């Protein structure tokens, strides 16, 4: 018997990186899991891949309905799909601002509102949003991305307040730099990938990047029925990046 036995979950962006690790861990801990992603073909058993574009309301509604019908219920929503952006506040045009906010923020609203009627039927309903250290700390050249994750932070608290009394817990994780395909693409694009990786590692007090599995464990902690009194929490999974101020190595 494991904590997610009998429960059903959807994970947006579940075909790669943090979402994939989370979907696989939820399944290993007993949940039936659907990964809602642009690339459902990259999802492997026992996780079910369902095509979904979180910027398209009809696509979201169809995917959530398909998962709920397939499992006969829906208890857990992991709002994880996200995209990045680089540059200062002047670097991105209006179309890029609209696109990133559409995926990273409005996408969470679309998925959550489609899932809420199902979650209200669940005895163990939970939503976990993927926020970021970028919501809390000023990172250079990440203006648009940070704005989107700051919005996720506020949205998480507002959703938690709205739904706690109907038994739906809402929380978020705030990862530091995680070693996922996304970060791999960023490193590949750098002039000196090894130096860029070393700089990202050095920025973390732990001296290394966070792993997708470590974020998945934090997400599962927040989503678990064993965490029934945890609501409105944004849990850092960042190697100490937010809270710690170490002296430089001597």
Ligand X SMILES: NC(=O)c1ccc[n+]([C@@H]2O[C@H](COP(=O)([O-])OP(=O)(O)OC[C@H]3O[C@@H](n4cnc5c(N)ncnc54)[C@H](O)[C@@H]3O)[C@@H](O)[C@H]2O)c1
Contact set with ligand X (CB under 6 A):
12-13, 15-19, 37-39, 52-55, 80-83, 103, 130, 132, 175, 177-178, 180-183
CB 49 within 8 A of CB 35: yes
Active site (annotated) includes residue 153:
no
- SS3 of 207, please? coil
> DSSP secondary-structure letter at 137?
S
d(CA 49, CA 35): 5
Q: Retrieve residue 116's tokens.
A: 């809420």
Tokens 């209006």 found at: 94
Tokens 């995680």 found at: 178
CB 128 within 8 A of CB 219: yes
- SS3 of 48, please? strand
d(CA 240, CA 176): 8
**Phi then psi dihedrals of residue 54, to 5 deg:** -70, -10
* Closest listed residue to residue 203, CA positions, set 232, 176, 165: 176
Length of the chain: 250
d(CA 233, CA 103): 22
Closer to ligand X at the Cβ: 78 or 125?
78
Cα-Cα-Cα-Cα dihedral sign, residues 203, 171, 74, 36: negative
| Residues with catalytic roles | 145
């Amino acid at each position: 018997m494991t904590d997610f036995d009998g429960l059903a979950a959807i994970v947006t962006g579940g075909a790669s990186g943090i979402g994939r690790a989370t979907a696989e861990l939820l399944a290993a801990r007993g949940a039936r899991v659907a990964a809602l992603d642009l690339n459902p073909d990259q999802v492997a058993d026992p996780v079910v891949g369902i095509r979904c574009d979180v910027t398209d309301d009809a696509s979201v509604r169809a995917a959530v309905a398909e998962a709920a019908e397939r499992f006969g219920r829906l208890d857990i929503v992991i709002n994880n799909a996200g995209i990045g952006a680089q540059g200062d506040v002047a670097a991105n045009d209006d179309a890029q601002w609209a696109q990133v906010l559409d995926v990273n923020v409005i996408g969470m609203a679309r998925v959550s509102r489609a899932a809420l009627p199902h979650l209200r039927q669940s005895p163990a309903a939970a939503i976990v949003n993927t926020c970021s250290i970028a919501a809390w700390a000023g990172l250079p050249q990440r203006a648009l991305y940070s704005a989107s994750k700051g919005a996720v932070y506020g949205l998480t608290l507002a959703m938690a307040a709205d739904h706690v009394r109907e038994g739906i817990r809402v929380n978020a994780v705030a990862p530091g730099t995680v070693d996922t395909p996304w970060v791999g693409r960023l490193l590949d694009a750098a002039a000196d990938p090894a130096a860029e990786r070393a700089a990202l590692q050095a920025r973390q007090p732990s001296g290394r990047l966070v792993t997708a599995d470590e974020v998945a464990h934090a997400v599962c902690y927040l989503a678990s029925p064993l965490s029934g009194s945890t609501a409105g929490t944004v849990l850092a999974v960042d190697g100490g990046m937010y809270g710690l101020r170490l002296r430089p190595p001597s």
